[in-house]
Structure 1
Amino acid sequence: MSLDVSREIAADNASQLRCASFVAWCQSLNIRCWHIPVAAPWRNALLERQHKSLKSSLRDIGWFCRAPMARFLSKATLRRNHRDLGGGITPAKLMFGHDRSALWRFSPPSLATAASSLNDAVHAISEIRNEHMTTLFQKDVTVEPVSAANLSRRRQRFKIGDSVLRWSNAATGLKPNWKGPFKVTATPGNITVLLSDRSLQDTRNVRRYLGRGEGCK
């Protein structure tokens, strides 16, 4: 992040931050805006309050008042979760491969960020995440229980071997949003499950599969 204008914004999925006006404004200043998934493991209440203030400010100053808008961009910080799962491994490490204490500074595209090397980078992060997961399982460390007051709704509990479906955005309105079935291979905590496709999912993104389980992936 530069000292004058942010080069990267981590925003939630609010309509104010997804509309064409905001996207065009970001492109005009060469700002990369990426949106955080609803069930991201590094979300927290602090960022929600920051985004609420940001959205209110954007509504007040108007879309075409470009000069003062940069002062509000520092509120759109990266949402992270620092809870230690064991061995210094946090949810941010499982997602990115290491702890991100700040947004990365924007830099021009290089060979390392070219499309041909994108898959290699994704696989590298996945391998690092799997190493962290293996470390957690070997130490038999579980996530601390979350109080019922902090949960937005009651969650289902899954056991190893359960057949489940995973939520994903459909390409079109006619295609289903639930993919699977998958097998639950591990339960690292009360609100996360590890599926047979090697993905770590929030239990709100998973539902029990009531059909036959032989076809699980």
Structure 2
Amino acid sequence: MTILIVGFKEDIHGDAVSWALNHQKIPHHLVHFSNFPTQQPITISISKADDLTQSIVFGETDATKENIINLRNATAIWLRRPNTSVFELSGVHSGDLHYVAGECRSFCAGLIANLPESCKWINPLPAHYVAGSKARQLNLAAASGLKIPTTLMSNSASEIRKFVSRQKGGTVYKPLHPGFWNESNRSLVQYTTPVTNERKQRSTGAMPGNISRRNSKKI
């Protein structure tokens, strides 16, 4: 029995589940693609002699066998937030960044895609990507009879300004994807943020986002 948790290093939820599994002495591996490749060694081994065998090693291959997953023994996979676009590329030459990032994306996406379908998937990969769409979430919520805020998703500065000016109760900006920055030995996080007049005037529309009518009674 082995459980695999795929997330990112800033996510406290994955860490909490890992702590609980350790407390129950349940074998598992917590994988942070955001540490890959410079801080997260991962090895995929595939061979075919009498039978097809596949294993994944998290860490160095000469370490203890506890860090090795035989895919036949993998029983459950939690795709917490398998971000295959953000990697730890410090030390990589600027001219090589595009190529190295592409190799990392292919490697990590292949690792997930190669996991056995016999495992209990939370969530299955196709469902994970569909459910991660903010636009899809809003459409399904409205179709289910839930109240949703009037929302604009745009990178057009003029459309954003017009939308904000029409909302009498104020507006908030919510990122489409979690945003993290490391600066001067501290971590910064982009939370849901009220859109003030100052921010509205400075808006360039270069980055798409999720702008919603502010109404604390509905949200």
Please indicate, yes or no, whether the TM-score normalized by the shorter chain is above 0.5: no
**TM-score, structure 1 as length reference:** 0.26
**TM-score, structure 2 as length reference:** 0.26
Higher strand share: 2
